[in-house]
Amino acid sequence: MVVLVENDLEFDFSPAIEAITFDDDALHNPSTIKRVDFIAEFEDKFIFLEVKDPDIPGATNPDRFKEKLLTGNLIPSLASKYRDSYWFRNHSGKVTKPIYYVVLISMASLEPALLLSKQDELKKSLPLTHVQWQNPSAAGCAILNLDQYKAYFGSNSVRRLSAGD
């Protein structure tokens, strides 16, 4: 079983062939590239996963995160994390399957409709395709809340450590 942790969230990547913590200085030093948190390889795809957890117990200012999301200031950061991670993996010869970019935002107060609209902004910011490109930069991208993530990847795919589940 491959289990990786990002702060208070534990991810079970058992169905994956391999999963790594990509946002690891030991893997990239010295480098200024922005990085997604995890990369998981499956039989037919890669998942690049970025985790944002403003609901973490003891968070100092979750409203600031929400404001950053609402004003559109978060989307360029999310897009650059994907682009830099893709660039690094591509130049490492490790882009051998379609890539799906998943952003998990664990913030219960966010409406799914808002996440869907931000997902559209992210697709434009990446961008996924271009008329001069032979292949898309990503097969797809999604911004999901915790319940949506569990619905897609399985009820045991992520758990909050502090909840003691």
Distance between CA atoms of residues 7 and 5, nearest Å = 6
**pLDDT above 90 for 32:** no
Distance between CA atoms of residues 78 and 34, nearest Å = 9
pLDDT value, residue 79? 96
What does the pLDDT look like over 103-138, one tens digit per residue? Answer: 999 999 899 999 999 999 999 999 898 999 988 989
Contact in structure between 113 and 153 (CB atoms under 8 Å):
no
pLDDT value, residue 129? 87
Q: How many domains does the chain have?
A: 1
Q: Within 13 Å, how many C-alpha atoms sit on residue 19's CB side?
A: 20
Domain residues for 145?
A: 3-163
- What's this model's pTM, rounded to 2 decimal places? 0.95
Query: What is the H or E stretch that residue 10 is in?
Result: strand 9-12
Measured from the Cβ of residue 2, the count of other Cβ atoms closer than 10 Å reads 15
Nearest Cα neighbor of 105 from 39, 49, 52, 150 is 52
What mean pLDDT is predicted for residues 150-163?
Answer: 94
